Amino acid sequence: MDYEEGLIMDRPDTDKALHALGLMVREAAGTDRALAMIAEELCGGQYGRLLIAGESTSRVIKVCNELVDAHDDISKTLKSALKVLTKESESLFRVRHRYVHGSWAVDGTTSEPQLMLTKRFQAHPNFEKFSIAELHELAAKFNLMHDRLMDWLLQICSPGYQAGDLLKAREEQLRNLRGGN
């Protein structure tokens, strides 16, 4: 038996689901890297990377929040802005974790794939909707979050940078890719 023949989800939408999952994971990794870059910058030294190397995204977010609070040279407005971004990032990563750590399964009530999720001290798994559309939407949200985090980073480490310039440049780039619409 070939590997592909043994897949549990050998339905026509499997390729679409795997593609959407991969796209979302790639975009989440970009957001994770942007958070790591912020933590490294806030450490202010060449060894800042050691503080977060190998840590989970939730730990990196916690480090970002702790470090930004310790900076007297960052405005309250920018500190608050980072706290909003990290909180929104945490929400996105919670949804990501459902897809990455949940098993694809069918519980018998439907023939559609679902996520089978288990939680601590829970005897039976929960079954939740598996949504290709949600994966695409989540990928887009991670892509935008990456740009928002990088915009924040540029505000603190690039003198003369105007807030939103990166986002405007990305919007222009997308318009050009779509044919100027």
Instruction: Quote the pLDDT of residue 6.
Output: 47
Instruction: Quote the pLDDT of residue 178.
Output: 78
Instruction: Quote the pLDDT of residue 172.
Output: 85
Tens place of pLDDT for every residue, the chain, 181 residues? 444 544 444 555 678 888 999 999 999 999 999 999 999 999 987 788 888 989 999 999 999 999 999 999 999 999 999 999 999 999 999 999 988 887 776 555 666 677 776 777 777 777 777 788 999 999 999 999 999 999 999 999 988 888 888 888 888 887 887 776 5
Instruction: Quote the pLDDT of residue 32.
Output: 97
φ, ψ of residue 18 in degrees (nearest 5): -65, -40
Question: d(Cα 64, Cα 81) in Å, to the nearest integer?
Answer: 12
Look up tokens 């960052």; give the residue: 74
* Residue 107 near residue 114 (C-beta atoms within 8 A): yes
> 3-class SS at 73?
coil
Write out the two tokens for 136: 């695409």
Say whether pTM exceeds 0.85.
no
Instruction: Quote the pLDDT of residue 166.
Output: 85
Write out the two tokens for 4: 């592909």
> 3-class SS at 120?
coil
Instruction: Quote the pLDDT of residue 3.
Output: 45
Element (H, E) at 104: strand 103-105
Instruction: Quote the pLDDT of residue 124.
Output: 75
Instruction: Quote the pLDDT of residue 110.
Output: 61
